[in-house]
Amino acid sequence: MTNTENNAKWWKNAVVYQIYPRSFQDSNGDGIGDLRGIIRRMDYLGKLGIDAIWLSPVCKSPQEDNGYDISDYQDIDPMFGNVDDMEALIAEAKKYNIRIIMDLVLNHTSDKHRWFEEAKKSKDNPYHDYYVWRDGREGVLPNDMKGVFGGSAWEWVPELNQYYFHQFLPQQPDLNWENPQVRKEIYDMILWWMDKGVGGFRLDVIDQIAKEPDQGITNNGPRLHEFIRELSRETFQKGDLITVGEAWGATPEIAKLYSNPDGSEFSMVFQFEHIGLDQQEGKEKWDLAPLPFIKLKKILTRWQTELHGCGWNSLFWNNHDLPRIVSRWGNDGEYRVESAKMLAILLHGMQGTPYIYQGEELGMTNVQYDIEDYRDVEILNMYKERTEAGYAREDVMRSIHAKGRDNARTPMQWDDTENAGFTEGTPWIKVNSNYQEINAKSQVNDPDSIFNCYKKLIQLRKEYDIFVEGDFTLLLEEDENIFAYQRKNDKQTMLVICNFFDQTIKMPLEEKCSDMKMLIGNYDKIEDASILRPYEARIYVK
Active site (catalytic) residues: 204, 246
**Contact partner at residue 396 from Ca ion, ligand GLC, none, CB < 5 to 8 Å by partner kind:** none
**β 353-357/314-315 pair status:** parallel
Cβ closest to ligand GLC, residue 321 vs residue 465: 321
Q: Helix, strand, or coil here: 169?
A: coil
Q: By CB under 6 A, tell whether 374 contacts ligand GLC.
A: no
Answer for which of 17, 68, 163, 236 binds ligand GLC (CB under 6 A) is 68
Q: By CB under 6 A, tell whether 102 contacts ligand GLC.
A: no
**Contact partner at residue 465 from ligand GLC, Ca ion, none, CB < 5 to 8 Å by partner kind:** none
Yes or no: say if 497 and 532 are a contact pair by the CB < 8 Å rule: yes
Yes or no: say if 366 and 324 are a contact pair by the CB < 8 Å rule: yes
Cβ closest to ligand GLC, residue 168 vs residue 472: 168
Give the nearest distance from C-beta 237 to Ca ion in angstroms. 36
DSSP 217: B
Give the footprint of ligand GLC on residues 320-339 (CB under 6 A). 320-321
Yes or no: say if 473 and 488 are a contact pair by the CB < 8 Å rule: yes
String marking each residue 103-132 x if it binds ligand GLC according to CB under 6 A:
--x---------------------------
**Contact partner at residue 338 from Ca ion, ligand GLC, none, CB < 5 to 8 Å by partner kind:** none
Answer for which of 80, 130, 131, 168 binds ligand GLC (CB under 6 A) is 168
String marking each residue 28-57 x if it binds Ca ion according to CB under 5 A:
x-x-x-x-----------------------
**Contact partner at residue 105 from Ca ion, ligand GLC, none, CB < 5 to 8 Å by partner kind:** ligand GLC
Give the nearest distance from C-beta 321 to ligand GLC in angstroms. 5
Q: Helix, strand, or coil here: 384?
A: helix
Which residues make Cβ contacts (< 8 Å) with residue 71, sequence separation at least 6? 59, 60, 61, 62, 109, 110, 112, 113, 114
User: Taking CB positions, which residue lies at the least distance from ligand GLC?
Assistant: 68
**β 482-488/531-532 pair status:** unpaired
User: Taking CB positions, which residue lies at the least distance from Ca ion?
Assistant: 34
Residues constituting the chain:
542
Backbone angles phi, psi at 473, to 5 degrees: -130, 125
Residue 53, strand partner residues: 17, 100
Give the nearest distance from C-beta 80 to Ca ion in angstroms. 8
Give the footprint of ligand GLC on residues 226-255 (CB under 6 A). 246
Number of residues in contact with ligand GLC, rule: CB under 6 A? Answer: 9
**Contact partner at residue 30 from ligand GLC, Ca ion, none, CB < 5 to 8 Å by partner kind:** Ca ion
DSSP 313: B
Give the nearest distance from C-beta 219 to Ca ion in angstroms. 35
Characterize 471-500 residue by residue with b for buried, 16 or more Cβ atoms within 10 angstroms of its Cβ, and e for exposed: ebebbeeebebbbbbbbeeeeebbbbbbbb
String marking each residue 309-338 x if it binds Ca ion according to CB under 5 A:
------------------------------
Answer for which of 26, 85, 111, 321 binds Ca ion (CB under 5 A) is 26
Yes or no: say if 255 and 24 are a contact pair by the CB < 8 Å rule: no
**Contact partner at residue 65 from ligand GLC, Ca ion, none, CB < 5 to 8 Å by partner kind:** ligand GLC
**Contact partner at residue 204 from Ca ion, ligand GLC, none, CB < 5 to 8 Å by partner kind:** ligand GLC
Backbone angles phi, psi at 89, to 5 degrees: -65, -45
Characterize 266-292 residue by residue with b for buried, 16 or more Cβ atoms within 10 angstroms of its Cβ, and e for exposed: bbbbbbbbbbebbbeeeeebbeeeeee
Q: By CB under 6 A, tell whether 204 contacts ligand GLC.
A: yes
Cα 111 to the chain's mean position, in Å?
25
Backbone angles phi, psi at 19, to 5 degrees: -110, 130
Give the nearest distance from C-beta 331 to Ca ion in angstroms. 34
Containing 47, the helix (H) or strand (E) segment is helix 42-48
Q: What residue type is assigned to position 11 of the chain?
A: W
Contacts to Ca ion by CB under 5 A: 26, 28, 30, 32, 34
Residue numbers of the site for ligand GLC (CB under 6 A)? 65, 68, 105, 168, 204-205, 246, 320-321
